Amino acid sequence: MSETVQFDESPTMFCTHPFWFLFWCLLVPVLIGLIVLFFWHFDLRRTRLTITGQRILYRTGALSTRESELRVNDFRDVEITKTLFQRMIGTGTLALSTAGESGMEVVITGLKQPERVREIINALRT
């Protein structure tokens, strides 16, 4: 049976580390900045958080990969952390933990509107 995707997003370079993004952009004329930005973009495109009706899938990594598949009903805690700069640009760090694990099982930085992810998870849990 096919599940409807509720959310599917990757973090962005600027939202993940704005200082380093600007630093490497300034080095683009030197070519090293362009190379670093390319590999960074490639790595972030390989990080994805997908929420379906019953599961949350977290995939990361380009050469070596890590995948976590979590059931929505197993969630114990959804934590959102925002620095001052993240608050200004509307991003944050989302951390998810389940009843079976101690500590946070999934931590993803640079998501746009992490509160929306929390609302989707809470709506699916009820």
**pLDDT on residue 46:** 86
Distances (CA, A) of 108 to 3, 34, 35: 23, 24, 24
Closest to 79 in 3D by CA, of 103, 51, 49: 103
| Domains along the chain with CATH numbers | 5-125 (2.30.29.30)
pTM score, whole prediction? 0.70
Lowest-pLDDT range of 51-60, 92-101, 110-119 = 92-101
User: Stretch 102-111: mean pLDDT, rounded?
Assistant: 83
